[in-house]
Amino acid sequence: MGYVKTAILMAAMTALFLAIGYAIGGGAGTLIALAIAIGMNAFAWWNSDQMVLRMYNARPVDAHTAPELQEMVVRLADNAGMPVPKIYVIDEDQPNAFATGRNPDNAAVAATTGLMRRLSREEVEAVMAHELAHIRNYDTLIMTITATFAGAISMLANFALIFGRGRNANPIALIAMMILAPLAAGLVQMAISRSREYEADRLGAEICGNPLWLASALERIQQGAARIDNDRAEQNPATAHMFIINPLHVHKRDKLFSTHPSTHNRIAALQKLAAEMVVSGMGASGGGVSRGSGGPWG
């Protein structure tokens, strides 16, 4: 169901983009809008991952500089049947993580030092499994495209005031388009982001083998994000949707303007999945929510 919802929302985003192009310049405007969309998405497809990693000063690690993290990600990627992504660490006290990249063969996962210091090994493993799920589901590509479309819609809506003033143009309608079109695009982008988080939670729980590890990790990260500032994220709020938990201090429920589902709802879904795994005989390795006080590297 998550994939169907995502497809419908992306179709709505595309239709809105083309409709604005048509409103500005008729059929020619639609073609111009389409050309702009292709160009912007091609640029984002090739460059967005490195741009974001540089934005957060992420440093690459390997078997020599972070052997336990490397071993963990390699093992989880093998469980998921996917290539091992590049691994990065961000020197940031707020516990959090994200994935980026255009496809599973060209992807990266990034974890903050706060995540590794504050969470147990099982919780970190569950978080990495969640990020691998995003990569395997091509969510990193989907969210890059939707973010690019949302930005392009805002740009076209502003162009409407400049190029849409023909004899039959209604100035009130143009102003309404300038305000409502970016708002609608943002709502669709956020809805897509929320739906992909639920899917990544489900698949990530299967990859690590215990939904309760991820439920515990989400609770800890939520608590950390609520009281520890992430200055780079605050300066670049457009990247907030990439993180496993919103790094900004603005989210509490499943609101229209939230990039993430309610953490409470995500935990409840994972607890339900754990119960279903027990009933089906799959079990949930580890036997419960991990409550270790320290990170896996001391």
Instruction: Evaluate whether 118 touches 95 at the Cβ level (below 8 Å).
Output: yes
Q: Which residue has the tokens 């943002």?
A: 186
pLDDT tens figures, 235-277: 888 788 889 999 987 544 445 557 788 999 999 999 999 999 8
List the structure tokens of 97. 């993580």
CA atoms of 242 and 265, how far apart (whole Å):
19
pLDDT tens figures, 178-189: 777 777 777 777
CA atoms of 246 and 223, how far apart (whole Å):
11
Q: Verify whether residue 276 is a known catalytic residue.
A: no
The DSSP annotation for 215-263 comes to: HHHHHHHHHHHHHS--HHHHH-GGGGGGBSS--SS---S--TT-SS--H
DSSP code at position 106: E
CA atoms of 55 and 67, how far apart (whole Å):
25
State CA 52 to chain mean position distance: 12
Is residue 81 scored above 90 in pLDDT?
yes
Domain coordinates of the chain in residue numbers?
2-280
User: Which residue among 92, 122, 125, 131 is the active-site one?
Assistant: 131
Question: What band does 115 get if pLDDT is binned at 50, 70 and 90?
Answer: very high
Instruction: Evaluate whether 230 touches 92 at the Cβ level (below 8 Å).
Output: yes
